[in-house]
């Protein structure tokens, strides 16, 4: 594609976040975030509501651009390229960094069209049937829908809809998938399926996931970032901050910070 002048700063990390803060108008949603996101690993963002995890994950594919008044300070580099450089086209960014949302949001079209839409947008119209099959297979949905590809996607169950959304995201061959609480609208069985799927996908993609579910983070992530909210002195403003960023196994057994330990053990949040 057009902008393939990537500089490999670090083979291991896909994103480097430096002094990042995001604000909406006067309201600072999250500030002072520094982290490196490792390639082909699952990185989970956890923390109480309002701590800015969803805001943060949306900066990785510039979805925050769509919110009026949203402003990003600091830098995020993606494979060495500053994502917020003036010359960077957010449309090209989103073609490489896919996103799965909190509520399944299939298009009101057929199952097949849900996949082919992204393929057409990205000019990937060669072998389109193979690509559809591959994506649905990777998303562990093929066997359930292979005979109903022309059925309206809204007729699928919630879990199937979410796997369809994952399928349409991976069909366009991104290298990173952002997941914003992908299981919060799903039952435990469907959640389990998505978690298993993530373990398969991480072989090929880097995955960032926001989750409210502590078990989910401990079960399925390799790295974990814990955020919390700090209330300003006058008590009026709450701003999200990164408390601890660590390997998941370390964070859930011997966290560095007292606050993390309290949150994980359920004594707060």
Partner 1 sequence: MENVNNLRNQLTKTITRPIEKIVKLFITASAFGAILVSISIIFTLLTEAINFFQDPAVTFKGYFTATRWTPTFQNPEYGVIVLISSTLYIAVIACLISFPLGLFSAIYLSEFATKRTRKVIKPVLEVLAGVPTVVFGYFALNWITPNIIQRFIPGTGVFNALSAGIAVGIMIIPTVASISDDALNAVPNSLRNGSLALGATRRITSLKIMFPAALSGIIASFILGFSRAIGETMIVTIAGGQYPELNLDPRSAMYTITSSIVNVSLGDTPHGTTAYNALFALGITLFIMTFILNIGSDYVARKYRKEYE
CA-CA distance, 39 to 60, in Å (whole number)?
Answer: 14
Q: How many residues does the chain have?
A: 269
Q: If we measure between CA atoms, which residue out of 30, 58, 72, 34 comes closest to residue 238?
A: 30
Cα–Cα distance for residue pair 133/47, rounded to 1 Å? 37
Tell me which residues touch partner 1 (CB under 8 A): 61, 63, 66, 68, 91-92, 94-95, 98-99, 101, 103, 105-109, 117-118, 121-122, 154, 165, 168-169, 172
Helices (H) and strands (E) in the chain, counts: 10, 10
Taking the complex as a whole, the smallest distance from the CB of residue 101 to partner 1 amounts, in Å, to: 6
Shortest Å, Cβ 15 to partner 1: 17
Report in angstroms how near the CB of residue 92 gets to partner 1 at its nearest: 7
Q: Rounded CA gap, 128 and 140, in Å?
A: 18
| Comparison of 68 and 189: residue with beta carbon closer to partner 1 | 68
Total Cβ atoms within 10 A of residue 174: 21
Give the nearer residue to partner 1 in terms of CB position, either 63 or 83. 63
Least gap, CB of 64 to partner 1 (angstroms): 11
Strand, helix or coil for residue 21: strand
- Whichever of 39 and 109 has its CB closer to partner 1, that residue is 109
Q: Which is nearer to partner 1, 154 or 250 (CB)?
A: 154
Residue whose token pair is 């925050």? 64
Within 8 A by CB and 6+ apart from 147, the residues are none
Minimum CB–partner distance for residue 10 and partner 1 (Å): 25
* CB closer to partner 1 out of 165 and 190: 165
The phi and psi torsions of 261 (rounded to 5 degrees) equal: -60, -45
């Amino acid at each position: 594609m057009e902008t393939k002048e990537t500089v490999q700063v670090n083979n291991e990390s896909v994103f480097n976040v430096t002094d990042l803060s995001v604000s909406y108008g006067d309201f600072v949603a999250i500030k002072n975030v520094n982290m490196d996101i490792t390639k082909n690993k699952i990185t989970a963002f956890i923390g109480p509501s309002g701590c800015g995890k969803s805001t943060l994950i949306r900066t990785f594919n510039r979805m925050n651009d769509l919110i009026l008044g949203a402003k990003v300070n600091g830098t995020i580099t993606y494979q060495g390229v500053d994502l917020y450089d003036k010359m960077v086209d957010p449309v090209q960014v989103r073609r490489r960094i896919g996103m799965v949302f909190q509520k399944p949001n299939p298009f009101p079209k057929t199952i097949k069209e849900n996949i082919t839409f992204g393929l057409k947008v990205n000019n990937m119209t060669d072998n389109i049937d193979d690509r559809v099959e591959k994506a649905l297979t990777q998303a562990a949905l093929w066997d359930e829908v292979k005979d109903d590809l022309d059925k309206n996607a809204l007729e699928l169950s919630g879990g199937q809809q979410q796997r369809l959304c994952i399928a349409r995201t991976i069909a366009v061959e991104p290298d990173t998938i952002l997941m914003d609480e992908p299981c919060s609208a799903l039952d435990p069985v469907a959640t389990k399926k998505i978690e298993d799927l993530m373990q398969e996908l991480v072989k090929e993609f880097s995955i960032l996931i926001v989750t409210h579910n502590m078990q989910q983070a401990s079960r399925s992530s390799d790295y974990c970032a814990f955020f919390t909210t700090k209330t300003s002195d006058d008590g009026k403003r709450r701003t999200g901050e990164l408390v601890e960023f660590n390997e998941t196994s370390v964070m859930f057994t011997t966290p560095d910070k007292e606050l993390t330990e309290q949150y994980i053990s359920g004594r707060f949040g």
